[in-house]
Each structure stands twice: as structure tokens, then as C-alpha cells.
Structure 1
């Protein structure tokens, strides 16, 4: 799919990996609708990106909110060709913690609701809009790119909720690709390692340095632009489908 003039909806697009993806799509001549809860930051990013970008406040866990965001995108830009799911949250809590206290079920449920159910909610509604597109070459109508994590494979101590949701994102990649294949819509997943997002950048060196040490090469945090570049490649390479790609500098996470 040629990115020029194509329309992407990007959740979590107001910062980090989502913002970098929005910038990459715009740089290649595409159009972007940023879906995020942070209204001030979302509007600022959209303004920075220019006339081919817009923002709509969106709760990925809410069906009506996502439906409204997709409708706003079609109304503004005429279609939806790409959906990139970057919205997500983390947690740090053991299955059984100090003094034999069990993991808070509410925390687990919240992480599942945002990371897994929110991702699927946007995927299904965006794909339904893509199904209305006129088919292009090879009868292609669209692409979904979801964000997992290396924690899906190498979840650390205290990451049970996060790893479970990211494992779920990986697990639904192929079934979604198979479901959407008759419609000419592809689905891929990116499993990032440790990236230099605002959250990680704010962490002290005692947190960051061991993670960098686990990375094989290059010995650094990932740059969000590298994530955006992979999304663009997935858009342009039509034969890439039903696949999860680790983008992690060869990191293999240790238990702690």
C-alpha cells in the first residue's frame, strides 16, 4: 500500500511510539487521526503535524467513543486505511506479594481492559470501516498494526498482567489476519523491546542501565522513530501479514 494520501488512525498517538508513527506517516504523505485521552497533548501534536493530521479524544475501551472516532476520521479524511494500536498501560505487581497479599484483581482487569480489549475494540471497528474501501492492487483494503511487547515472551517478575495482555495481542494476530483476509485487510503486530519513550526516559539510570545491558546490539534504548519506520514498512509491504516482529535489539529479558 502506498502511504501517500492514505489515512491512519493511531491510538496513543499523542506521545511515544504513537506520535513517532504519526510523524512517519505524515512524512510519507499520509494523513493521520490521533486517538488519545490526553486532549491537550493530542491537539498539540496534531497542530504540529499540519493540515493532514487531526485529533479526537478517545477511550479505546469504550465502544461508542471508538465508533465516534472512526466516524470522525471518515468524515474528516474520507476513509480509514490503516489502524495502529499504541495505547496501553503497564503495571508492577506480583501474583502473590509481600505478606502473602494476592495480586489486586482490579489492577489486572484494568490492564486487560486497556491493553487487550481496547486493542481489539479499535481493531474490529477500524477494520469494519476499512471493509468499505474500494480495493486497490491485490484487492487490498487496509492494515491493522497492533503493539505487543517482548514481555509477551520474556515477562519479568511483577509483569504478570502486562505480559498476559501482550501475549494476548500476539495470540490474536494470526486469527485476526485470517478473519480479515477475505476483506483484503492485513494484520501484523510489533513487539517492542525497551524504547526511549517519555515513561522510560523519566526512569533513573539504575532502572534503565540493566535493561540496556540485556540488549545485544546496539547497546541503547530503542528510538520511537525506529518503531514508526517499521509501521511504514508494514504498510508498504503487502506480503507481510499475520506476523509478530520483535523490535528489540536482540534483548532477552531476565527474570528481574
Structure 2
């Protein structure tokens, strides 16, 4: 599928992986609608550029449905949805403070897993109504898991569960949507230089980079964005998870 001329929806588009992906898709010729929380959109608006930022909570069905409807009202054909929105708080199953907070666990699953599913289902609905291309394809959904889905570290139980859920629904979603000509792929990044890394010192960041077998550095968000574009271009990629981690396998700490 070609990027040029299509409409794309990117969540978490105000920063990090979402911002880099949105920028790359615009460069590829797509009209990009970036979803993020209201405050994030307000803060990013001056630097929004060619990305049309829309305030919406990915966990809210009506807000996401309205955003998709807005794309259609603009005359856009939504053929690509990229789910980058996510949170990664840290807490152990049991610590000196007691058991893991149940509300926190619920919130992480709600944002990372339910939010991803919510956007995927509503984007797929819009894609299914479009005319197929010469190969019978109507659209592509790219979700974001994490290598934490496979070997998460101490304190990542909620994050790991949410990202394992995203990875786990990939092939089933692809099979569900095959009859409509919609592909579903997932990217599982390793250590990427996103706002979540901003609080780490240069020493810690260097140590994290050195833990990657090769290349020994933290990945750039633009590398994730290029992988999204590659998935879009390669029509035979469907129903699988691609690890983008430099062969890193996380230890327990």
C-alpha cells in the first residue's frame, strides 16, 4: 500500500513514537490526524506542523469515533491507523508498601490494551467501507507492544500484561479483518529515546545503550517510524509482531 494520498490516524501523536511516526507519514505523502490527550495537544499545537492534532482519549469510544468521523467529513480515506499511545508506571506485585494498586493495574491495561483495541476496531470499521486497491487491500493497522511483553523487568507487571495483550491479539485481529482486506501488524520496541526516558541521567542512558548487543545505543523514534512505513509498503506483512530491539533480551533488573 502506498502512503501518498491516504489519510492516517496516529495515537500518542503529540510526542515520542507518535510524533516521529506522524512526521514520517506526512513526509511520505499521507494526510495525518494525530490523536492525543487535550493537554498534550494544547502543548504541542505550536509545533504541530502539517499533522492535524485532535484531542481525544483513546479509551473513550465516542471520542475516537468522532475523530474517525472527522477524517471522513474532511473527505479523507482512512487507510492506516498506528497506535502509539501508552503509559508505563512502575510497581511490583508486592512491595513494602503492600500489594500492587489494583486501580493502577486497571489504568495501565485500559490505556495500553483497551485503548489500542478501541482505535483498531473503529479504524477498521471505517476502512472496511472503502473501495479496495488492486490487491484487494483496504487498510493497515500497526499496534505498539514492547519487548516487555516477553521479558519484562521488576516493577513492570502491569505494563508487561498490557503489552503482552497487544502482541497476543495481533494474529487473531489479522484473521478477523482479513475478509475486509485489512492487515494488522505489531511492533515491539526495545529501548527507545522517548519522553519516558527524559528523567534518566546521561550515565544511565549510556548504560542502557551499552546493554544492547548491536547497535550499542538507544533507538531513535524515527527508526520506529521508518519501520511503520516499511510495514505499510510490504503488503505480505500481516498478523505478526516485529521486535525492534537490537537483539536485546532484558534481564530481571
TM-score, normalised by the number of residues in structure 2: 0.96
CA shift, 1:43, in A, is 2.6
Q: Which aligned pairs between 1:1-256 and structure 2 lie closer than 5 A?
A: 1-37=1-37, 38-46=40-48, 48-49=49-50, 53-98=51-96, 101-256=98-253
**Residues 193-252 of structure 1 deviation map (CA, whole Å, 9 limit, x = unaligned):** 111112213312354233222201111110111000000011111000001000011111
Unaligned runs of 5+ in 1: none
Q: SS at 1:208's partner residue?
A: helix
Q: Distance in 2 between matches of 1:42 and 1:56?
A: 11
Give the aligned CA root-mean-square deviation in angstroms.
1.2
- How far is the alpha carbon of 1:64 from its aligned partner? 0.5
Quote the Cα distance in structure 2 between the aligned partners of 1:232 and 1:88.
20
CA distance in 1, matches of 2:47, 2:2: 24
Which moved further from structure 2: 32-41 or 127-136?
32-41
Supply the distance in 2 between the matched residues of 1:197 and 1:68 (Cα, whole angstroms).
28
Structure 1 residue ranges, 4+ long, deviating more than 4 angstroms after superposition: none
> Is the 2:6–2:76 contact (alpha carbons within 8 Å) kept by the matching residues of 1?
no
For the Cα contact (< 8 Å) 1:173–1:242, is it kept in 2? Answer: yes
Taking the aligned partners of 1:63 and 1:129, their CA distance within structure 2 comes to 14
Contact 1:19 1:45 in 2 (8 A): no
Give the C-alpha shift of residue 45 in structure 1.
Answer: 4.1
Answer whether contact 1:88 1:115 (CA < 8 A) is retained.
yes
Cα distance in 2 between the residues matched to 1:74 and 1:199: 33
Q: SS state of the match for residue 202, structure 1?
A: coil
Structure 2 spans left out of the alignment, 5+ residues? none
State whether residues 149 and 164 of structure 2, in contact with CA within 8 Å, keep that contact through their aligned partners in structure 1: yes
Q: 1:185: how far off?
A: 0.1
Q: TM (normalized to structure 1)? A: 0.95
Provide closer, same or farther for how the CA distance between residues 74 and 43 of structure 1 changes in structure 2, counting only shifts above 3 A. farther
- For residues 150 and 75 of structure 2, the distance between their equivalents in structure 1, rounded to whole angstroms, comes to 38
